[in-house]
Structure 1
């Protein structure tokens, strides 16, 4: 006869206590929601009985809970390891069986459970959907299973635990041996839930091997059902982090192009706005250098969970949670799960010997369970029986690790020796994520005999990986595969840095030479060969961290040399200057010793290294380097040698950086003529030389000539290269800059605004070239009078440059100069003074006292001193700047004329109007000859001259000069332009020095 179902509210079940293991929290939340929607009062009771308390007592305590007790059965609930099946069977028969009606149960596992669990008559919820699982659970509690509508104001329902969030990516497989950490999991959960929008960031920090990544993964599985998006990102390297975060774009359904810079921007914007999903969780794993990526941590309504060895995340608005080693009871419980043959006492002894470090416990207990070695014998080995020279590998590592690893290594050699070969290959990549697919993609003929079988036999490969995984030596990074065997062919493995370091120490020299050569050739084969192509930067970002570990600089293989040079070019174009300089300097030292001081590779290397050094402002260093190469190649090969011309192009750039513009112009003109003679007008090298000549012309103030050359260069690059090529984009900046310097502000802004959008898409927001494009757009808008748009742009650009490039980078100093003169007129004069002093000091340190950039920024600074009432100091400084600029670039240069306009204003203020008028009179004459009657700088000089004429009471001439100048201002810039309005109100003009790219 069927059992009648009880209606909610009828006599019987009104309260249900759900007893669950913390591991199964998501199931408890889902079941509780199903019951509460039907009017049932739910009490949650996390089941975590102390190991030293008899199970019978813990079950009797559970029976004190109100109402029916619904037990969620899983192997986690029974803690098989710390508790035996016999213990459980005895307790269930003694406590539960006599009062079975108080209990109901659901099973969410297919694992074998103690036989006496049959007393629960559990409903099986495995391998069914949400509706059927709910029906079975309600039937077990004798409740009606009809649909219950959810009220409009009800909180969102928990996701069915067997379903994953709508967007899910990169998350490691769940560790079924995860143990303890309940307090940390709960603290992380509450810290994220209680944080306000944009502040939900928690960092799990602690020493290596302590289990931070496993803790974060468990957090994802335990609480992930509350999110619509869960995305796991390796964050040990900035470039890899950017690439993986950008891959979220298509998963969110964002409409973007293929360039990862555009995708990254779209992802960050979508997460910030919470569209299309506001409940998101981003996990940044291994973020040990916060200064490298903190600016890329998304803000918004979602949550960010970080794992790191570095507690400095606390300085970047993150809530810190320290992850210690296991508590002893956690260690014992974990060991007994991993090695059931060990008793509680033996597990305690092992935990003591291994200092409770989770990684070491995992590796050691795994093979001890398969070994017949007694725990006493093993501990004796740890204490020095196998190696009397046991020392810490680093201050983070426990003393026992090296010896424990030696024991494990012997075990691996005995079973699957190929696993040792694979492990040793991995040690020549950087620790962490290792792209073993690069090894698999190598042609068979390039492999040594020892490795041919491993690489070419899928069964042997899978067996080696499985053996390493069995003892937790590596973990698979092909996270999404369900088929364990298929997943063994995944693209990457994860090797902990502790293991990485030990493997590197424990290797025969013959194997070291063979294996490192294999890895070098694998990296060389993975070189995309197009370092200037932004779409290939993710590939280079993956390769470059491994160069050091593969010791590529000691290779004589030309393909490996090409890889190094291409990585240097990638670092230059992507803005990774400091890292590139370190690699280049190491390569220079190594290759001189390896190849000799005159090997052709050194000319390639010096060219790329000089580009990187020049990018950070070391013009004196690059000039000395390039001049030596130029002289050598000219003497050896002649002036028309292509290598010599390339080196000479670099030397011309150095001369521009040093302020020796006439020399640079002469050299640039000769280089262009020679390239045209040798290669023709359309060769990319000829076009590049034309670009460089235009830069020299601009630095000499010959803006119209520069504009014409840059126009031709832009047209040529659009034809020869694609429209989104970075060289085409830099030509757009150059051409727009010339237009702006000629006073054609509308044309300049139109071109630069479009170019900025493309820069962000192709190169990413924080690429140096993108910052340069945005800076020129801000200047265009400022000169056009759109100060409201310019103000936040100047501030944002400077902040990003300081963060990405550093405070002393040439671009940062350029942006600081602009920020200071804008703040002087339209923001905070104190801020302007601070930034201006920083710019002057930075240029003086970088370039020396006699450089025109120092004179120009001092002229800017004098205007600030004038504004705060320090007239005498300002007068002395502006006169010195004028004299210095005249000596540096000549009296007819626009920069000198600008300094003269500023100096004349200070002469008036200190009571010398006659010399002020004389100075502006000469300035007008020279500006008209140099720039033309209607150039903005000439117009400023004419307005200043009219003011100076009034200062000496020559009002008739002043009126005439002013009227003519106003007419030209209206005709040139418009009646409502800020310069026209300012001149009409007789506000004396000033001039701002703008440092230029070289």
Structure 2
């Protein structure tokens, strides 16, 4: 051809280092990668060149520029290649005849489609690579480029693992939405996403696609999976809108990976996460989490490892969870126009531009509008006139982020649905009383026929009408099925969920006639109540509650007088308490208390039941002053109205006992706990679960008073009874094992405590889940048992590793100021102080003191104890005087709070005597040590670890007074008891023999 440049290198068969430029549409990137890899292995230099076809540049000029590329130009022929622009077949035929036909040897082509392409593409002589295996496809490719199949492959390149043949699916491919053949553009975004993931460090390949609703985040993620799927062995799509659904769908990957697990999906989930982390059996995996708008609900479950994770979310807060962010914005205008013209071929480029302008280039609206506009007689000008207010000028805007045209467009679509299948609008409106997202329509299908209003009975009980309504909604992308692979003509199972976008949800809800609202909301409320699993303490039923809870708000259940609906609310609150969803439970409880007081009256029986569950949640978050006021009001009212032996009164009194313990009014709490237990025993007997709960509370009161032997016996009795009455792995039985193991540890029986706690941790992880507060408490106690035991622990479960893990998860799941988190932080600070990270110890300690001072009343023993811990840190960093002042303050406050014989006071005294010694007050130190020994022997016995520590300390103080004879006697007796109690090789014994002065760590207890 005239003026065309000759190939850079000859294309004769067998010539080394031939250069080939691969020209491809982004949609066919996988083919380009595979072809490039095959050629590079044959010594060919490959230049990939993605095809971009801006509509404002003539196609002839674009092809002429292509002749400037290096070497031969290999075009990957597909319908996508010719549609970019979009260009008509007539344009292509003219350009191919003008540019390619005069010099066909400069171009070569392979075809990866069976769809119709421009007739003049024949000049490219494309060889088909579809409907065959990889070996035959490679043979044809090489033949088309005049490369001999016998050409030796490059050794270095051949040793690496290349891309999978694009026609072959990854080994594991799960529920990825079907490829959208109308997908348009986004090429710069794909390039950036691909680069971010490929350049990420192992274990850090997490990318969040975020943006406003309707911009096409899910569509982009699906296209990414199809486009780059050949580079992975596993591609798995998970609905991540709700934690329970995410857990279940990720767990379903277990059998696909060939993992041998039981049927319990918690076990499967753990196995899947471990397999992905290790990269076995597959290291090249891609996990897509769709609709993860609440990162705090699931980010702790994100797999780590050699693979990649893509998250779609409206929430940019994923950046706080080690994820890279990539914003998905509305289409650029040229992409909007290209998309509309493929969706609505009857529209001209100018009309598509008009429509894109009216719809604000929002992909969701373009998709839902252009399709039916193509089938309508309505002109674009007429449609835009409607958008400007002719059909519904009073529509309220959903949010400032979306133009008025959005709501108006939906009004037009809803009118069309009413004209075609009116039942589809009824179904859509019914769905808006569930939370947006996945709507569990099976709950509606399971309702008794006689409970349905006439308007809905036909729809819900006629399978043909039901499927017709849903398919009409799916046709216009109003809803989709949770089963991503379902086609429009497949029947809808009663077990399916419908996906309803948030914006659609809001607009349809606002558009609903008032006459329908009452009937529709009542149906949804009764459907939710009928789905109540009924036992909130049963962990295997928690997924059911997790599915129901998000819908309570949208069904406005708090305004219902139906007793079943109200029981559902109470059960959900109880579930949220046991599962550790404290904050969400408190919000629901607050709203319920306000609504029910107005609905039922301030003294209705259900108010007191609600108050009990609400205060449990508040108490779990440490808001003791507020709960004490609420509990006392309930106790006083119920005692006056029903008498002291009323069961509701006893339950409220038990709650008040917990408030008193939280406020450190331990003597009052003990007295109340004893009275409640006696009353329950009289009314219900020893073996009722409520009696055992009261007995458990008595054990808590005794432990906080430092009466550890009594606590041990009480908790042992409770544990054995719960095991027998409930079952060994019931959450309450497991909780009793934790408290019993704590008692053993506090009494110095470290080996017994560690053995029981290790078993208990495994069972809590299995039953409660790894991040449940009860599991965290169990792991924390196990870490302390191993720390005190001083023996080597299994790798990964050493005390320091476990303490760090528990604190990190506690802060993430519960928050930094939760009572349990502060307990975990205390343990971590003490451990860090003794194992070299003094800066971390000090930072944690100062934060703990500050938070306790803010949360608890002045004079609380937890404040005094945390100050005693801080004094030890000051001692270690050389601030002796400051530490001495602080520990003396802590000793005085602790004595005032719990008395001079309490173990906490004795511990403060042990530390105070050490600081007195350091600042030169040897007489004061010896006097305090001598007094502490006497009180410790009286309170705890001669061989309790704390007593032994005071005896060793006293011997040191006697040496300071130069009373060596008495010091030797006291020391030898203490060492003898240490040998007998803990063993000669225990760290405490060894340390004492080396004359290292003992110290005491304050450990806050649960209340």
TM-score, with structure 2 as normaliser: 0.92
The corresponding residue for 1:848 is 857
Of stretches 647-656 and 861-870 in structure 1, the one that deviates more from structure 2 is 861-870
The corresponding residue for 2:28 is 24
Separation (CA, whole Å) in 2 of partners of 1:712 and 1:135: 77
The corresponding residue for 1:458 is 463
Of stretches 84-93 and 536-545 in structure 1, the one that deviates more from structure 2 is 84-93
Corresponding residue to 1:426 among 428, 431, 436: 431
Q: Does 1:985 align with 2:998?
A: no
Corresponding residue to 2:287 among 282, 285, 291: 282
Corresponding residue to 1:375 among 373, 380, 395: 380
Q: Does 1:922 align with 2:926?
A: no
Corresponding residue to 1:410 among 411, 415, 423: 415
Contact in 2 for aligned 1:8/1:40 (Cα 8 Å)? no
Contact in 2 for aligned 1:272/1:301 (Cα 8 Å)? yes
Q: How does 1:640-679 map to 2 (within 5 A)?
A: 640-679=645-684
Contact in 2 for aligned 1:22/1:46 (Cα 8 Å)? yes
Gap regions ≥5 residues in structure 1 = 1-6
Q: Does 1:818 align with 2:822?
A: no
Separation (CA, whole Å) in 1 of partners of 2:602 and 2:263: 43
Corresponding residue to 1:866 among 858, 875, 893: 875
* CA deviation after TM superposition for structure 1 residue 590, in Å: 0.9
Contact in 2 for aligned 1:21/1:76 (Cα 8 Å)? yes
Corresponding residue to 2:257 among 252, 259, 268: 252
The corresponding residue for 2:79 is 75
For residues 473-506 of structure 1, what are the alpha-carbon distances to aligned partners after superposition, in whole Å with 9 as ceiling and x for unaligned? Answer: 2223202446752467672222222212211211
Flag the 1:972–1:94 CA change in 2: closer, same or farther, 3 A. Answer: same
Contact in 2 for aligned 1:466/1:488 (Cα 8 Å)? no
Contact in 2 for aligned 1:179/1:333 (Cα 8 Å)? yes
Flag the 1:570–1:993 CA change in 2: closer, same or farther, 3 A. Answer: same
Contact in 1 for aligned 2:874/2:883 (Cα 8 Å)? yes
Separation (CA, whole Å) in 1 of partners of 2:640 and 2:343: 71
Separation (CA, whole Å) in 2 of partners of 1:517 and 1:209: 30
The corresponding residue for 2:544 is 539
Q: Does 1:221 align with 2:220?
A: no
Flag the 1:160–1:461 CA change in 2: closer, same or farther, 3 A. Answer: farther
Separation (CA, whole Å) in 1 of partners of 2:125 and 2:12: 22
* CA deviation after TM superposition for structure 1 residue 281, in Å: 1.2
Contact in 2 for aligned 1:616/1:810 (Cα 8 Å)? yes
Contact in 2 for aligned 1:939/1:969 (Cα 8 Å)? yes
Q: How does 1:513-552 map to 2 (within 5 A)?
A: 513-552=518-557
Corresponding residue to 2:913 among 895, 904, 924: 904
Structure 1 SS opposite 2:287 = strand
Contact in 2 for aligned 1:106/1:123 (Cα 8 Å)? yes
* CA deviation after TM superposition for structure 1 residue 84, in Å: 3.4
Contact in 1 for aligned 2:14/2:151 (Cα 8 Å)? no
Contact in 2 for aligned 1:178/1:334 (Cα 8 Å)? yes
* CA deviation after TM superposition for structure 1 residue 61, in Å: 4.9
* CA deviation after TM superposition for structure 1 residue 263, in Å: 3.5
Separation (CA, whole Å) in 1 of partners of 2:287 and 2:783: 33
Separation (CA, whole Å) in 1 of partners of 2:412 and 2:550: 30
Structure 1 SS opposite 2:536 = coil
Separation (CA, whole Å) in 2 of partners of 1:331 and 1:763: 49
Flag the 1:137–1:554 CA change in 2: closer, same or farther, 3 A. Answer: farther
Separation (CA, whole Å) in 2 of partners of 1:11 and 1:749: 72
Separation (CA, whole Å) in 1 of partners of 2:140 and 2:418: 50
Contact in 2 for aligned 1:259/1:762 (Cα 8 Å)? no
* CA deviation after TM superposition for structure 1 residue 548, in Å: 1.2
Flag the 1:140–1:918 CA change in 2: closer, same or farther, 3 A. Answer: closer
* CA deviation after TM superposition for structure 1 residue 914, in Å: 3.4
Flag the 1:533–1:434 CA change in 2: closer, same or farther, 3 A. Answer: same
Contact in 1 for aligned 2:471/2:489 (Cα 8 Å)? no
Q: How does 1:240-389 map to 2 (within 5 A)?
A: 240-389=245-394
The corresponding residue for 1:48 is 52
Of stretches 733-742 and 478-487 in structure 1, the one that deviates more from structure 2 is 478-487
Q: How does 1:497-512 map to 2 (within 5 A)?
A: 497-512=502-517
The corresponding residue for 2:6 is none
Q: Does 1:762 align with 2:762?
A: no
Contact in 2 for aligned 1:442/1:525 (Cα 8 Å)? yes
Contact in 1 for aligned 2:13/2:146 (Cα 8 Å)? no
Separation (CA, whole Å) in 1 of partners of 2:344 and 2:847: 63
* CA deviation after TM superposition for structure 1 residue 471, in Å: 2.0
Separation (CA, whole Å) in 2 of partners of 1:530 and 1:167: 37
The corresponding residue for 1:632 is 637
The corresponding residue for 1:235 is 240
Structure 1 SS opposite 2:214 = coil
Separation (CA, whole Å) in 1 of partners of 2:52 and 2:567: 59
Q: How does 1:675-824 map to 2 (within 5 A)?
A: 675-786=680-791, 789-824=798-833
The corresponding residue for 2:961 is 952
The corresponding residue for 2:7 is none
Structure 1 SS opposite 2:1001 = coil
Contact in 2 for aligned 1:82/1:344 (Cα 8 Å)? no
Of stretches 494-503 and 963-972 in structure 1, the one that deviates more from structure 2 is 494-503
* CA deviation after TM superposition for structure 1 residue 83, in Å: 3.1
Structure 2 SS opposite 1:959 = helix
Separation (CA, whole Å) in 2 of partners of 1:488 and 1:685: 43
* CA deviation after TM superposition for structure 1 residue 57, in Å: 4.5
Of stretches 68-77 and 749-758 in structure 1, the one that deviates more from structure 2 is 68-77
Flag the 1:970–1:115 CA change in 2: closer, same or farther, 3 A. Answer: same
Of stretches 406-415 and 338-347 in structure 1, the one that deviates more from structure 2 is 406-415
Structure 2 SS opposite 1:925 = helix
Separation (CA, whole Å) in 1 of partners of 2:883 and 2:47: 76
Flag the 1:8–1:596 CA change in 2: closer, same or farther, 3 A. Answer: farther
Of stretches 133-142 and 655-664 in structure 1, the one that deviates more from structure 2 is 133-142
TM-score, with structure 1 as normaliser: 0.93
Gap regions ≥5 residues in structure 2 = 1-10
Separation (CA, whole Å) in 1 of partners of 2:144 and 2:473: 43
Separation (CA, whole Å) in 1 of partners of 2:326 and 2:223: 15
Flag the 1:489–1:89 CA change in 2: closer, same or farther, 3 A. Answer: farther
Q: How does 1:856-895 map to 2 (within 5 A)?
A: 856-895=865-904
How many positions carry a matched residue from both structures?
A: 992
The corresponding residue for 2:479 is 474
Of stretches 359-368 and 665-674 in structure 1, the one that deviates more from structure 2 is 665-674
Bigger relative contact order, structure 1 or 2 (CA pairs below 8 A, ≥6 apart): 1
The corresponding residue for 1:3 is none
* CA deviation after TM superposition for structure 1 residue 394, in Å: 0.9
* CA deviation after TM superposition for structure 1 residue 219, in Å: 0.7
Flag the 1:883–1:364 CA change in 2: closer, same or farther, 3 A. Answer: same
* CA deviation after TM superposition for structure 1 residue 452, in Å: 2.1
Alignment RMSD: 3.0
Contact in 2 for aligned 1:8/1:39 (Cα 8 Å)? no
Of stretches 242-251 and 188-197 in structure 1, the one that deviates more from structure 2 is 242-251
Flag the 1:986–1:433 CA change in 2: closer, same or farther, 3 A. Answer: same
Contact in 2 for aligned 1:575/1:768 (Cα 8 Å)? yes
Separation (CA, whole Å) in 1 of partners of 2:265 and 2:14: 60
